[in-house]
Structure 1
Amino acid sequence: MKQQIQSCQFDGRNYGIDIMKILSAFMVVFYHFGHRKYEFFEACNYVPNINYILQTLVAFSIPLFFMVNGALLLNKTYDNLLILKKIGKLLLIIVVWKVVCFPSWFLKTLVILYVLYPLLKKIFDNFPKILVMVILCFIIFPDLYNMIISILRFCSVESINIFGGGYKVESFPRTGFFTLYAIPLFLIGGICVKKKWKIKSWQSIILIAIGLIECLFEAVVITRTTGELFDSGNGNFPTIGAFLMAVGFFLLLYQVKIKESWKLPILFLGKNVLSVYLFHSILIHVINRFILPGIDTLPLFLNLIISILIYLSSLGIGVIFSRIPYLKELVKI
């Protein structure tokens, strides 16, 4: 009997969205585990190795997370009371998990997006020209701004003239603009679904490759000009490259076709992905302190295997929490 393969949209659920959730969370785990060797010797001559390239690839993860949230929220109508409840639940999760030093900055950004949701939804539904302007403004600053600063440093430009005044390039810091670079990603995630944007798989891959190259360019320029190895994962979130990679992965995975036998596990992993974000840092701390004390680097394949184990263990802990009264409120939004 021929194995049935259905488009991920046919049964009413887009499993590509779940795959994006899973992939984003895994890349965050892989990044935070971080037992990788980058071969950093001389900043002025630094050339990225495979580990550094993979770390740079991680830059799409949180931007994709924001795109997924935009795709899910902007194409439905939620009343303000429900949004307030979600904000309250997010704040509860942030406050409680702050006790165990959970890095909750991206959830704080999600709170901002929920607060802005009524306004963004109004613009999304009724004012297409304003929508385009909002997206462009937040791409120009900080994403394009950060790229221009990197280009000026690459060209060894020491100062620039603005409105008759001279300013040193080094006085212009890179910025995430209070993580508000998430706004255009949130909006474009919604647009991709609403307009049913589609491009061929190879075009998505080219988009991802261009984004990766741009992120590597910025990372290497900063490394060579500062003399310190740049954090090309987290540090590249507010960049044109991360933006392009996130859009490329979104368009690639949104159109993916899923075998019937894969739907249930993908659904399970996608629905419980918050547990991975919440518990992986604790597990990494335990591993570093008790299992791998004093070990800074591991082969790439071990990094991948251990990251998978951390992912699955975090998921398992989350499932246990989800079955305990009161505690279940801490692992679901």
Structure 2
Amino acid sequence: MKQRILGYDVAKTIAMFLVVLLHYSFYTRYYSGGLDGTLATTACVVCVPLFFAVNGALLLPRKLDVRKHYRKLAAIVAIIAIWKTLAALFFVVVDGTQPVSIKDFLKFQFGGAFGAYPTGYFWFMHALIAVYAVYPALKLVFDAGGMALRSLVVVLSAFTVGKDTAVVLLDMLGAASGHEFASILGGLSEFTVFGGYGYVALYFLVGGILGNVMVHPGENPPTAWPWKRIKPAVAIAAVVLCYVLLLGTQRFQHAVRSTNLTIDYGYWLLPTFATTILILALCLMIHTNNHVAQTIITQSGQNTFGVYMLHLMAITLFAKVQQLPGFAAMGTLRHGMVTVVNIVFVLMIFVCCLLASCVLRRVPLIGKLFSL
């Protein structure tokens, strides 16, 4: 059995909790859409980037067996198809208010939406499959290192983090001047073959670079710019600064376009990129000899896939429970208290899904659906 790196499990746990919090804010009955609720959901902007960075950090420094990799990819596609079938059955049986057809189900299996049901969270798995499909090519560039890797990182950065940060800045300039500038860069996507998932490859690659330097120093050839270990206090201060910038961006978008809870282009912005890499670096600095803490973190890290597959079903059920009269009092709470209570509920949902995944993972055959 390969030794698990505690920091990766910590990072995956943080990312998964933030995913649950973000989706909970969309589908619960009593989440605050005001500033206090937004303070929490703005932090969720790193959840998906952090997952891809961890994936890159885990995979890229390892040796690649191409046949084994594509067998694993085929297994992932099959497992996701089963989960989509289970999700479709769940939403039809539990809700049943939206008309769906066999055609809708087939569209869902091939990456589309399942009618009007909230099954869009599968997009993450589509993006992961896309990255895994071209992983051997990314691995080839990663192993080559030097100018090849640097050039790819620069190109990806320019067309994702760079372009969309510039779009937001032009949007702000337009709002201040009374003119529209953001569309100037609207056609840049015509010049890249990576499309909308370019930022996914960027996080994957840079996560691999960070993992190679911090976890495998001396084991692999240097891949790109050397990582000078940053002091934890400095990293934390930088994360706080990036969060302030992201919150300011969200507030601007809320004022101009009534964007609520989320940030347009949130995954693609420079502060998000910096925060993601800094959080991963901070997680890799974590060490503990406490056996109980290690066990909890390891189990959580091992079961993030199961939590991801279960969490929206759990949120949907919880939203139905909130229709009971006993929850009506939440509508009378002040916004700040509503947010605190909801974060407690999110933690409960996360723990319940985690426990369910831990148990089901050990069941023959069924466990394969939780062992990705």
The counterpart of 1:325, out of the listed 347, 364, 367, is: 364
Alignment of 1:2-21 (within 5 A): 13-21=4-12
Question: What are the superposed Cα offsets for residues 100-124 of structure 1, whole Å, 9 maximum, x if unpaired?
Answer: 1362111111111111111111111
- Distance, in Å, in 1 between the alignment partners of 2:81 and 2:198 is 21
Shift of 1:30: 1.1
- Distance, in Å, in 1 between the alignment partners of 2:67 and 2:56 is 19
Task: Report the number of matched residues.
Answer: 306
Alignment of 1:186-225 (within 5 A): 186-196=204-214, 197=227, 198-225=229-256
- Distance, in Å, in 1 between the alignment partners of 2:348 and 2:299 is 17
Alignment of 1:27-106 (within 5 A): 27-34=18-25, 35-39=30-34, 49-99=35-85, 100=87, 101=119, 103-106=121-124
> Match of 2:155?
137
The counterpart of 1:284, out of the listed 315, 322, 332, is: 315
- Distance, in Å, in 2 between the alignment partners of 1:264 and 1:224 is 45
TM-score, normalised via structure 1 length: 0.84
Question: What are the superposed Cα offsets for residues 275-300 of structure 1, whole Å, 9 maximum, x if unpaired?
Answer: 11010100000010133469696712
- Distance, in Å, in 2 between the alignment partners of 1:110 and 1:94 is 11
- Distance, in Å, in 2 between the alignment partners of 1:149 and 1:231 is 20
Shift of 1:323: 2.6
Aligned amino acid, residue 299 of structure 1: V
Shift of 1:235: 4.8
More helix by share: 2
Quick check: 1:71–1:192 contact (8 Å CA) kept in 2?
yes
Question: What are the superposed Cα offsets for residues 218-259 of structure 1, whole Å, 9 maximum, x if unpaired?
Answer: 322322222x22442685112112111101101111111213
Q: Secondary structure at the match of 2:347?
A: helix
- Distance, in Å, in 2 between the alignment partners of 1:50 and 1:16 is 30
- Distance, in Å, in 2 between the alignment partners of 1:317 and 1:117 is 31
2:169 aligned with 1:169: no
> Match of 1:182?
200
Quick check: 1:75–1:193 contact (8 Å CA) kept in 2?
yes
Alignment of 1:186-265 (within 5 A): 186-196=204-214, 197=227, 198-226=229-257, 228-232=258-262, 235-261=265-291, 262-265=293-296
What is the RMSD of the two structures over their aligned residues, measured on CA atoms? Answer: 2.6
Quick check: 1:59–1:233 contact (8 Å CA) kept in 2?
yes
Q: Secondary structure at the match of 2:288?
A: strand
TM-score, normalised via structure 2 length: 0.75
User: Relative to structure 1, is the Cα distance of residues 234 and 174 closer, same or farther in structure 2, using a 3 angstrom cutoff?
Assistant: farther
Quick check: 1:283–1:310 contact (8 Å CA) kept in 2?
yes
Shift of 1:75: 0.9
Aligned amino acid, residue 61 of structure 1: C
Shift of 1:159: 4.5
Quick check: 1:58–1:233 contact (8 Å CA) kept in 2?
no
Quick check: 2:33–2:261 contact (8 Å CA) kept in 1?
no
User: Relative to structure 1, is the Cα distance of residues 328 and 199 closer, same or farther in structure 2, using a 3 angstrom cutoff?
Assistant: same
Quick check: 2:167–2:185 contact (8 Å CA) kept in 1?
no
Quick check: 1:60–1:246 contact (8 Å CA) kept in 2?
yes
- Distance, in Å, in 2 between the alignment partners of 1:118 and 1:177 is 19
Q: Secondary structure at the match of 1:38?
A: coil
Question: What are the superposed Cα offsets for residues 194-220 of structure 1, whole Å, 9 maximum, x if unpaired?
Answer: 222321112211331232233223322
- Distance, in Å, in 2 between the alignment partners of 1:318 and 1:102 is 21
- Distance, in Å, in 2 between the alignment partners of 1:193 and 1:95 is 31
- Distance, in Å, in 2 between the alignment partners of 1:233 and 1:316 is 31
2:17 aligned with 1:26: yes
Gap regions ≥5 residues in structure 2: 88-118, 215-226, 332-336
Question: What are the superposed Cα offsets for residues 138-177 of structure 1, whole Å, 9 maximum, x if unpaired?
Answer: 22212221221221221225245xxxxxxx7389399994
- Distance, in Å, in 2 between the alignment partners of 1:185 and 1:114 is 13
